[in-house]
Structure 1
Amino acid sequence: MRYLYTLVMYLVTPLIVLRLALRGFRSRPYYWRWAERFGFFRVPPGLRGSLWVHAVSVGEVNAAEPLIKALKRDYPGAPVVVTTVTPTGTARVQQLFGDGVFHVYLPYDLPYAVNRFLAGVRPRLALIVETEIWPNLYFACRRRGIPLMIVNARLSERSLRGYRPRPLRGMVRAALGCVSLVAAQSRNDAARYRLIGAPADRVVVCGNLKYDMPVPQEALAAGARLREHWGARRPVWIAASTHEGEEQAVLEAHLAVLQRLPDALLLIAPRHPERFRPVEHAVRSLGFAAGSYGADGMPALANQVFVIDAMGQLMPFYAGAGLAFVGGSLVPIGGHNVLEPAALGTPVLVGPHTFNFEEITTSLIEQGGALRVPDSAALGEAVLHLLCDDARRHAMGRAAQRVFERERGAVGRLMRLIDAQLQE
């Protein structure tokens, strides 16, 4: 089956390249560093024995941040290699670590590309973050004797169904047989990995790395400055990581909020950079006093809506806002990271589609730190009620922060498992 899979990969490669080119029309970074996606890159000296972490995009990079810092701390002599798939993930790696790690794009799952990549990186250990099962890559690691761990492993019910069709089942099972250890986020994730073929004795529950992300004190300070700038009593909410199909609902919700709270401010942060311009256009077309930075580098006080057109800048705005709606949840994307606002004590709203973060979201809702709205029509009403109820909003923020603090510790557990792998 893997040989058929490889043949299909070769046949569809021209289509993959075409898709990459088309995406480059909307986001220029997709044009850059194409060769790396086929295993061609300049290998810096001293990579032998590297610790390789693969994090597909922004969310996985953020989850991996405390792990990468722990690897650099505990293995100071080992170079750390980080691979991503998306330009936004690449930008986040550079923002977090600069030259402290070696970054390269993960190659497509073609044998020659994978082998060229591994020959250049020469990893001592491979750590795949969350859910990335690439059969040729996994088999190549086994042939070369590279221990491979899936860390912070998660598998939603939706993804489980995708891996279970009969033609894929045997290949996925064989690929997971190449994995030394699956460190799952939860018991449910562990059970799903076993269902798709991970050997039961190689699956453990380790917790969610995202609970161990650092709470940046500078973000809290920046949030306090933002609140002071726009006024401590001004109603402010943020819609973060929004997708096409959500921004219009968010803006309509804000129109409803403004009818009751005319000085309310909406901060909106599209998930992808190519959405910045369309969202700014939508804001102006609806007649909002649209956002820009003032001379002091702060959102102008006259703004009714401010579009955050930068990646990796959410934390200060989460800290400054009174309420956060986390996107990807009104449309069937599966939701995004609700822990960032929770860590800062900001109450959370989500839509009905949160299968990517189901257990975290459910825990926050059950403990009173988050609310789920059934559809876009209910968003404005929920935002308005919470912005008008300071006591409930503050109680939700404290509850969200307690959930975040209670679940910390996954990095320590995972580092003990990594130490054991490296000593074998």
Structure 2
Amino acid sequence: MTDPPVHRERGEGALRALYSLALYLLSPLTLYHLVARGFRVREYFRRWDERYAAYGTQPGRPCVWLHAVSVGEVNASAPLVNALLQQRPDIGWVVTTITPTGSERVRAIWGERVKHVYLPYDLPGSMDRFLLHFRPSLALIMETELWPNMLFGCRDLRIPVYIVNARLSARSLRGYRVLRPLIGRALRTVACVAAQSDDDARRYRVLGARPERVRVLGNLKYDMALPEGIDGFVAAFNAALGTPRPVWIAASTHEHEEADVIALHRRLRARWPDLLLLWAPRHPERFARVQALAAEAGWQVGTRTCGPWPRPDDDVFVIDTLGELMPFYACAQVAFVGGSLQPVGGHNLLEPAATGTAVVTGPHLHNFAEISRRMTAAGALRIGADMAAVGDHLLALLDDGAARQAMAAAGSALLERNRGTLRRTLELIGDDLPASVDAPASTAP
């Protein structure tokens, strides 16, 4: 018995052809992008074959494919992938990212238990080669990665697609308006959009998703687990400091926020001269620069790679490694989460809350609107309208241990109330997981 023909909406072919033609005409810019980024991050000079799906190896066995664009999405997917690796060790996995930092995070979490490659550009030839090479039996797309040829290619090969932990900000919805006729058709091919919130679900429907295939399951970030050995990590940190000192952390900061961090630390040290700043830039290419900025400000600076712990006379300690942010959150009394003083959209606010650290952030939070709303309502987050207001919150919290404890308790309670998205997601995708087979010990495709 043959499969029924694939259903294509009227106008899909013409729209897809125009979109693909535009991508082919613009494809030389992809090389420029890789070279330009490579001068800042050397890893962009490597593995170009994966960017165009030119594989020199033999195709692997069928697998589950998960796409997570970068570090934040990889971290958010960890509870789901870890649960499936434990429950179904017979399943092979391929995980794609777009950024080298995402690639490093995949390797740090799962090592050789999954196969990692970069997602190819959304050219139809590249995407078809990727899908035919890895032959995924199920595709799990994290959050907001809506590439038309990717989605149509999965539909054409009868690969069910789930957009899990799906979010779509009002800003992103506006950004898709030019491609909405094509994106809408592509969205209607997916098996389900598992949205984080009612607002995300509504926007996906506005963009074109089939209403009956959009469900609100919640946010996987609430199901995060604390890193193993975090108590020992904090104990070693405190032992290295010797005398107890007040500590704050500026995390996931972007280039245009760096001067603000310098100004904030100077202001805070006027009140607490022995205050230590833990500084974790968002992008690895900024590690050396923030170290230099702190030194130019006249402070004693240490780094994780040279340390590994702050020295008793350090004023600033740069966390120039990946994957260690949560343990360092636990070492601080107050956390400032960056990407929020500039219109970046914010970063994960639940990670510091999960470690019991009071959380302060700036006003630009469109990527975390629902989480920031819930945390603020619960009393687990303080938002400053600008740098001065952020500084006011940091000053107040460093001076008020009871307020910090209340925020920590509120954050812990909020996380506990909202757990369960992992279970619901596992139930949702269960019927489309590959059938159980006897498999060798290795699970990499």
TM tier relative to shorter chain: over 0.9
**Aligned counterparts, 1:198-237, within 5 A:** 198-230=209-241, 233-237=244-248
Name whichever of 210-219 and 5-14 sits farther off. Answer: 210-219
Long gaps (5+) in structure 1: none
CA 402–178 in structure 1, closer or farther in 2 if over 3 Å, else same: same
**Hey, what's the Cα distance between the residues in 2 that align with 1:238 and 1:162?**
33
CA distance in 1, matches of 2:277, 2:306: 20
**Residue identity opposite 1:69 in structure 2:** N
Deviates more, 1:357-366 or 1:224-233: 224-233
Contact 1:58 1:89 in 2 (8 A): yes
The Cα of 1:233 is off from its aligned counterpart by: 4.0
**Structure 1 runs, 4 residues or longer, greater than 6 Å off:** none
Which residue identity does 2:135 align to in structure 1?
R
Equivalent of residue 393 in structure 2, options 367, 377, 382: 382
Query: Which SS does the other structure have where 1:245 is aligned?
Result: helix
Distance between the aligned counterparts of 1:260 and 1:279, measured in 2?
23
Q: Equivalent of 1:131, from 144, 155, 180? A: 144
Could you say which residue in structure 2 is the equivalent of 1:109?
A: 122
Please tell me whether the aligned partners of residues 220 and 344 of structure 1 are also in contact (alpha carbons under 8 angstroms): no
Instruction: Give the alignment partner of residue 367 of structure 2, picking from 356, 367, 370.
Output: 356
2:173 to 132, 136, 160: 160
Moved more, 371-380 or 116-125: 371-380
Of residues 274, 293, 307, the one that matches 1:282 is 293
Gap change, CA 1:126 and 1:232, over 3 Å in 2? farther
Deviates more, 1:283-292 or 1:302-311: 283-292
* Alignment partner, residue 357 of structure 2: 346
CA distance in 1, matches of 2:252, 2:284: 11
Pairing 1:7-406 to 2, within 5 Å after superposition: 7-43=21-57, 47-165=60-178, 168-230=179-241, 233-292=244-303, 297-406=308-417
What is residue 19 of structure 2 aligned with on the other side?
5
5+ residue gaps in structure 2? Answer: 1-14, 436-445
8 Å contact kept, 1:176–1:197: yes
Task: Write the deviation string for residues 332-377 of structure 1: whole angstroms up to 9, x where unpaired.
Answer: 0000001111111111001000111111111111111110011112
Asked if structure 2 preserves the Cα contact closer than 8 Å seen for 1:154 and 1:184, the reply is: yes
Tell me the alpha carbon deviations over residues 364-416 of structure 1, each in whole angstroms, 9 at most, x when there is no partner.
11111110011112222221111111111111111111111211111110011
CA RMSD of aligned residues (A): 1.6
Q: Sort the Cα spacing of 1:409 and 1:42 in 2 relative to 1 into closer, same or farther, 3 A.
A: farther
Contact 1:237-1:322 at 8 Å conserved across structures: yes
TM-score, length-scaled by structure 1 = 0.96
* Bigger shift: residues 259-268 or 395-404: 395-404
Give the corresponding residue for 2:6.
Answer: none
Q: Which amino acid aligns with 2:323?
A: G
Do the aligned partners of 2:353 and 2:411 also contact (CA within 8 Å) in 1?
Answer: yes
Task: Provide the aligned length of Structure 1 versus Structure 2.
Answer: 421
Distance of 1:233 and 1:388 partners within structure 2: 15
Deviation at 1:243, TM superposition (A): 0.1
AA of the residue aligned to 1:35: D
Residue 75 of structure 1, CA deviation: 2.2
Partner of 2:438: none
Q: Residue in 2 aligned with 1:420?
A: 431
The normalised TM-score by structure 2 is: 0.92
Q: SS where residue 178 of structure 1 aligns? A: coil
Structure 2 CA distance for aligned equivalents of residues 407 and 397 of structure 1: 16
Q: For 1:79-116, what per-residue CA distance to the aligned partner results, in whole angstroms no more than 9, with x for missing partners?
A: 01100000000000000000000111100000110111
3-state SS of paired residue (1:332): coil
Evaluate the alpha carbon distance shift between residue 123 and residue 294 of structure 1 in structure 2; reply closer, same or farther with a 3 A threshold: closer
Q: CA deviation at 1:173?
A: 0.8
Cα distance in 2, alignment partners of residues 133 and 295 from structure 1: 41
Whether the 8 Å CA contact 1:294–1:300 is kept in 2: the answer is no
Could you tell me which amino acid in structure 2 is paired with residue 158 of structure 1?
Answer: R
The answer (yes or no) to whether the contact 2:137–2:434 under 8 Å persists in 1 is no
Is contact 1:43-1:120 (8 Å) kept?
no
- Post-superposition offset of 1:74: 2.5
Moved more, 217-226 or 91-100: 217-226
Higher relative contact order (CA 8 A, sep 6+): 2
Distance 2:292 2:119 in 1: 34
Match for 2:63: what amino acid?
A: S
2:243 & 2:332 partners in 1: Cα distance?
A: 10
2:9 aligns with none
